[in-house]
Homo-oligomer: A and B are copies of this chain.
Amino acid sequence: MPRHSPTPPSPSRLPGGLQPGILEDNISYLTRVVRSVAQQSAGDHLGKFELLGGQLTALALIAANEGVSQNDLTQAMQMKKSQMTVLVQDLVVREIIDRTPSATDRRYNALTLTPKGGRLWKRVREGLASHSESVLSVLELDERRQLVRLLQKLAAAHLGDALAAPGEDERD
């Protein structure tokens, strides 16, 4: 369909039909758009579980790290501890996770999945995989690996820790 936009005729590059200008290789802009796409897909695949953004990620990390503390979760997810409190509280009320003071240092809360949470996680896990698959499916297999590796490297370098695997285990 032709547009009636007042934009002068020029080679289209962006969805709106505009030039990216200096934004072409800007990481903030690119991740903004990609994240918008990813969030849309996440909603499609995982909306039925009524897990708000961070809750889904938290669930995945608790499942992979039973007994993890809220403090460690906030670092891995790059969010504030006050935000984490609210997020965790809702999961506790819904009996998806348990939150118990650590035996060795009672300042820490150890987070674990409840049986109900474990069953939920099994279903969420499938949706999460199909969500990631649906977003990345437009890339070739080696492109996916490259993208994941580069994003991991970027994150790891700036967070000053080892997000990216030093030993690059191959998965698909």
- A residues lining the B interface (CB < 8 Å): 3-8, 12-39, 41-42, 57, 60-61, 63-69, 71-78, 102-105, 107-108, 110, 125, 128-129, 131-132, 135-136, 138-139, 143-144, 146-148, 150-155, 157-163, 165, 171
Contact = CB atoms under 8 A, between A and B. Distances in A.
Contact of A67 (B6, B125, B159): B6
A105 B38 CA distance: 35
Contacts of A31: 31, 34-35, 38, 151
Interface residues of chain A: helix, strand, loop or mixed (majority): helix
A167 to B, nearest CB: 9
Given A13-B162, A15-B75, 10 more contacts: A13-B163, A16-B71, A18-B64, A20-B61, A22-B60, A26-B60, A27-B34, A28-B42, A33-B77, A37-B154
B7 A161 contact: no
B76 A16 contact: yes
Q: Which 10 A-B pairs have the closest CB atoms?
A: A21-B64, A16-B72, A138-B157, A16-B75, A6-B102, A16-B76, A36-B78, A14-B76, A30-B151, A37-B158
A150 B81 CA distance: 33
Contacts of A7: 65, 67-69, 72
A23 B60 contact: yes
Given A7-B65, A26-B132, A69-B6, A35 B37 contact: no
